[in-house]
Amino acid sequence: MLESLTSSLTGLFVHPGFILPGVALIAAPIIIHFINRLRFRRVKWAAMEFLLASQQRNRRRLLLEQLLLLLLRILAVAALAVLVARPLIDPQRFSQLLGQKTHHLVLLDDSGSMRDRTGETAAFETGLDVLRKLVAEGERRPDSQTLTLLLLSNPSQPIFTQENLNRDFVTRLEGTLKGLRCSHRALDLVAGVEAARKLLAEMTGAARNFHLISDFRRQDWEDNSALPAALRELDLDKVLINLIQTVPEAHPNLGITDLTGTVDVAAVNVPLRLKASIRNYGEQVVRDVRLTILIDGQKQPSSESIDKIEPGRERAIEFDVKFASTGPHNVEVQLPADALDQDNSRYLSLQIAESNPVLVIYGGNDENEALYLIDALGAVPEKTGFSPTRDRIDSLRRQPLEKFKSIFLLNVSELPPDAIKALEEYVRGGGGLAWFLGPQVRAAFYNDKLAGEVPGLFPARLGGIAELFLDESNPAPDFSVTDHPVLEVFQDDRDVLLSYTKVNRYFSVAKDWTVPDGVRVIATLRNKAPLMLEHRLGKGRIITCLTACGDLSWNNWPRIPDAFVPVQLQLATYLAEGRRTLQQRTVGEPLTISLAASAYAPQVEIRPPDGNRVLLTAGIKTPTDAVPAVQTPAGLEYEESFRNTDQPGDYALVLKRAEGGEEVRHYAYNVADAESRLQLATSDSIRRRLGPEVNAQIQEFGNLLWVHAEDTSHEIHDYVLLLLLVVLLGEQALALRLSYHPRPAGGSA
Amino acid sequence: MTRDSRRFLQPEAVARISRLELQARNVVEGFLSGLHRSPYFGQSVEFVQHREYVAGDDPRRIDWKAWSKTDRYYIKQYEEETNLRCTLLVDVSESMQFGTQALNKYEYACAVAASLAYLLLRQQDSVGLTSFDSAVRAEVPSRSRRNHLHAVLAALDAQNPAEKTDIYHILAKVADQQTQRGMIVLISDMFVPRDGLFKGLKLLRHRGHDVLLLQIMDDEELDFNYSGTTRFEGLEAAGELVCDPRALREGYLAALQDFLDQLRRHCARNTIDFQTIRTSDHLDAALAHYLNHRIGMRQTLRS
């Protein structure tokens, strides 16, 4: 019992063992008082009458004085005992005695960078350990503290709200923490702090503590002034701020920042050139970076490598992949494991077509004028993936154009209105259009029906056919090019191609025509006249070449296959990309499904990368003021949003067609590169950003002493010493007043 | 007291009486020798008659003119010397046994009474004595013979002092006994019921007696300088009290002062001479006070 008594005093005194003897010593003045009462001398007294009268008159006062003196002596002994025991005062404990609790709000950063591993332990797991220790310490004083736990990925929905820290909660917490996973997303710390601040404002208690368990990356603290400002607001609210670091040092990190390619023209058995960009986020050069390629989960026998990447720099690797079948496929590229794994993989989902149909419309009488182009595009379909079709203008009206990846119009004199309309719809929907002029072109028609103040299908008003004469004095090539993917072949050091490529005839633009907004000149003749133009219409791209394609009297391009073929292939590819089927999706973005009610059933199945299939039933899309009712040709649409896209990888969406059968669409989700930068903000820089007036504790990695010493008690021996002094002086003064001091010899009465 | 009574006195009593007599003599003679140089002697004292000189009379009082005329020694007698009947009332109760000085109150009172008796008898006044405690202890009728002193002194012997009874009874008895007017000297600590005392004193005054109160108190009773836990056991069954005397001192002195003031006021109202004498004071003080009173008395009579 004595031990339990002493232990209960532990929080109140540095040396609680002195208290019990001290309490025993308090009896000393009482005992001495009674002993004095028993020790007296006897005097036979005659004038009792007056003595009794005095005693009667002063009985109460005497009693009070005696008691006061006794009390002062007891207090002096008690103060001495307390002084020796070194008392502590803990405002929190005092408040707890009044029924007030200490609130802990923990904001746990579960952004992608918290997957950074030190050894085998991720920063997120370190954060969970800190949380466990904090709860364990609070459980030692059951029901005196509460915990609110927020995850940065969802700060508006706390996992726990003002839960009392006791044994029962410790058990529940452990079960919950086992199921927690760190997200892959880039998250906003400011939003988390704001949410915490709102919750803390509702808490009344002895003390409110805000614990931010995070990895304190430089980009969060030094490049962002909103976060220190948000914490300053917390400090003004008198919340104790505790910043807990979960990472000991910045780790080197390589990450794949991009995986892209001309997926829109991917065709079966046709090599598809892909490009992977790799960035070195570390401080040291990294050499011999190996990239592993997986197609549909199968590791390819060969890997790619980069000899070195300087710190802070990005390098790209291009490689070709080939798909043996049509349909959906996915490509994954991987780097070797390092501290942060989530950016070591990148995914690409693509639909492989049998081939890429291209429509070539020729306006001249000679169908061979299209042959050069047809040959360039489709001579080796297994290499190019294009299957060009030659046809007349009429076909623009007769068939749906959406199936074509791009449409080339060669030497077309005029277009009927419905063809114009079909072309406009096609381009606006994402289709690509290439104009090549020729002798059949009627400038007046183009100027009147195709070009306009605002560029429509045709970007410029034409003048007339012009000749580019040879200039002996100017040895420059007939035309110069800008940095454009279509003209990539001319941008190498192979000026020889430019020097060989000749232009004799071209269509000039109208004299008063100036390049309008939205139109770009991508190639220019020697005489400064524009040769090639690019502009957009809706989602689609239009490239206009003011010379002919396939008419050797206009230019000799077909005779320079090294230039002609790559340009046409690039052109066909560039135009096909207008559809932008390659969508870069970031983890966390909802997967929005919109389906025509007439074509699909509302039941959809989602197959995320983790393998757990999710069945959803899409609802009818209701129109709002912002979003008017979408009227498909058949009427209504189904709409659904799937939000659980934290895991990077391939998400397959399986749809049921109304007429039967399934359709599968694939979406690749990748992590954002914001979480790949692992440089840490130092404690000093954090303090500087917070400012000197903010009282925030910053706990370095591994320091857990604060968990145990989070009590706010402090010694008050100065006050006790002062009290003892006052009591002793008071006791002496009262004793003197009560004349308990012996008179000096010879003193008068 | 007769010779036979004296014979039954205990040896200690005899010794005590002898000492008392000696002491009284020394005090009075000393006092008078000092008084010789005092302004009291020989001034404002009216000559009444001559008396033949007898052995023992003060030679300074010899009237040399009369000797030159008659060749006989005569001394002068003055007005105050004639026929004063004085009764000494001496309190010999238990409370008078208290004392912290060389003499306790009782011994001091006896010394005062003895000195007064000696003086009175020397001046050929008659003096009687009544000692009392709970009742009259001893009574010696007033005589003026010189050898009456012994009887007076013998009456002062108090053994087994008891608590006082109502002093009115004592004073009334004295008033009844003293049919002739005279002087009553009450020597006591006055720790008696006030009402009885005042009533008795008033009675004596009413009967024409001249009353002189000599209150004998010990220094400690007057100063109360005790300290330390003390158990005060009251004499005369007055109770007991354990206390810290320093705590009660102020109240005690206030109560005592009230008592003394009350006594003084009553005495003043009734023309009773009242004097408080400390046992540390020299016995001369009592005698001086007595003489002052006598002078005052004479002046009153003359006017």
pLDDT band at B201 (very low <50, low <70, confident <90, very high): very high
Contacts of A47 in chain B (CB under 8 A): 95, 98, 189, 191, 221, 252, 256
Mean confidence (pLDDT) of chain B:
80
pLDDT band at B8 (very low <50, low <70, confident <90, very high): very low
pLDDT digits (tens, 9 = 90+) for A529-538: 999 999 999 8
Residue with tokens 């005590």: B16
Contacts of A742 in chain B (CB under 8 A): 227
pLDDT band at B81 (very low <50, low <70, confident <90, very high): very low
Chain B residue nearest residue A749, CA to CA: B225
Comparison of pLDDT for A161 and B283, the residue scoring more = A161
Contacts of B249 in chain A (CB under 8 A): 54, 739, 749
Token pair, residue A630, equals 């979408």
- The side-by-side arrangement of strands in the sheet containing B183-188 is B136-143, B126-132, B85-91, B183-188, B210-217, B273-278
Give A46→chain B minimum CA distance, Å: 5
Contacts of A39 in chain B (CB under 8 A): 229
Q: What integer is the mean pLDDT of A220-246?
A: 89
Which residues lie closer than 8 Å to A112 by C-beta, 6 or more apart?
Answer: A182, A183, A184, A185, A186, A340, A342, A343, A587, A671, A672, A675, A676
Q: What is the pLDDT of residue A114?
A: 95
Contacts of A65 in chain B (CB under 8 A): 247
Contact between B241 and A48 using a beta-carbon 8 Å cutoff: yes
pLDDT digits (tens, 9 = 90+) for A294-337: 999 899 988 888 999 999 999 999 999 989 998 889 899 999 99
Contact between A739 and B247 using a beta-carbon 8 Å cutoff: yes
A50 close contact with B: CB closer than 8 A: yes
CB A239 within 8 A of CB A133: no
Token pair, residue A485, equals 């993917």
Burial tier of A480 (Cβ tally within 10 Å: 0-12, 13-18, 19+): middle
Testing the interface with B: which of A42, A43, A49, A51 to mutate, by most B Cβ within 10 A? Answer: A51
Contacts of B225 in chain A (CB under 8 A): 743, 749
pLDDT at B117 over 60: yes
The helix (run of H) or strand (run of E) holding residue A85 is helix A59-85
pLDDT band at B78 (very low <50, low <70, confident <90, very high): low
Contact between A50 and B256 using a beta-carbon 8 Å cutoff: yes
Comparison of pLDDT for A111 and A583, the residue scoring more = A111
Contact between B105 and A49 using a beta-carbon 8 Å cutoff: no
Calpha distance B67→A344 (Å, rounded):
159
Percent helix, strand, coil in chain A (nearest 5)?
A: 35, 30, 35
Give A28→chain B minimum CA distance, Å: 19
B254 close contact with A: CB closer than 8 A: yes
**CB-facing half-sphere around the CA of A666: CA atoms within 13 A:** 18
Which pairing describes strands A540-545 and A530-537: parallel, antiparallel, or unpaired?
antiparallel
Comparison of pLDDT for A128 and A94, the residue scoring more = A128
B256 close contact with A: CB closer than 8 A: yes
> What ipTM score was computed for the predicted complex, to two decimals?
0.79
Q: What integer is the mean pLDDT of A667-696?
A: 90
Dihedral sign for Cα atoms in the order A482, A483, A485, A488: positive
Contact between A42 and B231 using a beta-carbon 8 Å cutoff: yes
Calpha distance B114→B24 (Å, rounded):
6
Over the range A577-586, which residues count as b (16 or more CB within 10 Å of their CB) and which as e? bbbeebeebb
pLDDT at B49 over 80: no
In A140-279, alpha helices (H): 167-178, 189-201, 218-221, 226-236
Contact between A51 and B226 using a beta-carbon 8 Å cutoff: no
User: In the A/B pair of chains, how many CB contacts fall below 8 A?
Assistant: 117
pLDDT digits (tens, 9 = 90+) for A488-503: 888 765 577 888 888 9
Comparison of pLDDT for A394 and B9, the residue scoring more = A394
Contact between B251 and A57 using a beta-carbon 8 Å cutoff: yes
Chain B residue nearest residue A734, CA to CA: B247
The helix (run of H) or strand (run of E) holding residue A717 is helix A717-737
A45 close contact with B: CB closer than 8 A: yes
- The side-by-side arrangement of strands in the sheet containing A649-657 is A585-586, A662-670, A649-657, A600-607, A614-617
Contact between B259 and A45 using a beta-carbon 8 Å cutoff: no
Testing the interface with B: which of A45, A55, A734 to mutate, by most B Cβ within 10 A? Answer: A45
Contacts of A737 in chain B (CB under 8 A): none
Mean confidence (pLDDT) of chain A:
86
Chain B residue nearest residue A49, CA to CA: B238
Calpha distance A581→A596 (Å, rounded):
19
Give B252→chain A minimum CA distance, Å: 5
Chain B residue nearest residue A45, CA to CA: B234
